[in-house]
Amino acid sequence: MFDRIEFILGEAFSALRRNTWMTFAAVTTAAIALFLLGGMTMAYLSVSRYANSLSDRLVMRVFVKEGIPRPQVEATAQTMRQIPGVKKVVLIPREAAWKKKQAEMPEITAGLENPLPDAFNVTLSDLKSAPTVATELEKLPVVEKVNRLSEVQDLLASIIALIRGLGLGLGGLMLVTSAVLIYNAIRLTIVARWREMKIMRLVGATRATIITPMLLEGMIQGALGGALAMGLLWGAYSGLGRLVTSLAALGSWPAFPAGTALGILMATGAAYGLLCSLLAVREPRRQGNR
């Protein structure tokens, strides 16, 4: 058993060593594809994080009609929380708002009656739902006015939707492209090894013995590509971090998650390599010939 494993591993590694240029081509191709894929994923995650943080900051101010009793106002807060797209509702009582205003502008507010109505700060869970939420809020009987901030919100929502769509579209495209590239690289390796395969068939080697080293070869190439992609990604991320912090004078740039990225990219690369090798070694069934 140990002898068999040694033979199969030996075959896989000797093929990698012997076909140096082919291996180099396959590894770099996989690395570039995984780098693009990883980069796109990171960009998508960053944009999503930014979108979420943005929705926390964009709050709609909803004013309540005059003379509405406080219990009814508080009940309305519950109703608002049920509206899809609403994350948080905070009641700002008119007394508290006036107190704040007085503290901010004592000269102007001195001697005046409190003219402010009760209000709500409504935080959105999803920026895209802003117009719908605003319309729903306006329908409520106690609501006097909704400060929509609609133009800003609509614009941002459109931009984020576009970036998300682009991320998904380009990411998917990269996924397919990298699969085709790895498949081609493995197929070329197999074509280069036709003589070994022919000899194995002639002397009666089983199909498992013939293809297992090639599957391992594909997995190793994919995993090496993943490791290289992690290095490229790390470099690009650090470079971008330096640029952004110097331009925007930001204090810190989030650290690159090297361990996670290495694990994910190597595992993805190995899985890709295996999948593409499996596709590449399959034999078409033809009538009569084998």
191 contacts other proteins (rule: CB under 8 A): no
Instruction: Report the nearest approach of other proteins to the CB of residue 4 (Å).
Output: 7
Stretch that binds other proteins, among 26-34, 44-52, 83-91, 192-200 (CB under 8 A): 192-200
| Residues near other proteins (CB under 8 A), total | 22
Stretch 209-248 residues interacting with other proteins (CB under 8 A): 209-210
Instruction: Report the nearest approach of other proteins to the CB of residue 195 (Å).
Output: 6
Stretch that binds other proteins, among 97-105, 140-148, 194-202, 249-257 (CB under 8 A): 194-202
Instruction: Report the nearest approach of other proteins to the CB of residue 287 (Å).
Output: 8
3-state secondary structure of 100: helix
196 contacts other proteins (rule: CB under 8 A): yes
| One-letter amino acid for residue 62 of the chain | V
203 contacts other proteins (rule: CB under 8 A): yes
The DSSP-derived string for 153-190 is HHHHHHHHHHHHHHHHHHHHHHHHHHHHHHHHHHHHHH
**Cα–Cα distance between 280 and 290 in angstroms, integer?**
16
Stretch 17-46 residues interacting with other proteins (CB under 8 A): 18
For the CA atoms of 58, 63, 68, 72, what is the dihedral angle to 10 degrees?
A: -20
Decide if 106 contacts 79 (C-beta within 8 A).
no
199 contacts other proteins (rule: CB under 8 A): yes
Angle at which helix 150-192 crosses helix 20-57, to 10 degrees, equals 170
3-state secondary structure of 121: strand
List the structure tokens of 18: 């012997």
Q: Which residues bind other proteins (CB under 8 A)?
A: 3-4, 7, 18, 195-196, 198-207, 209-210, 287-290
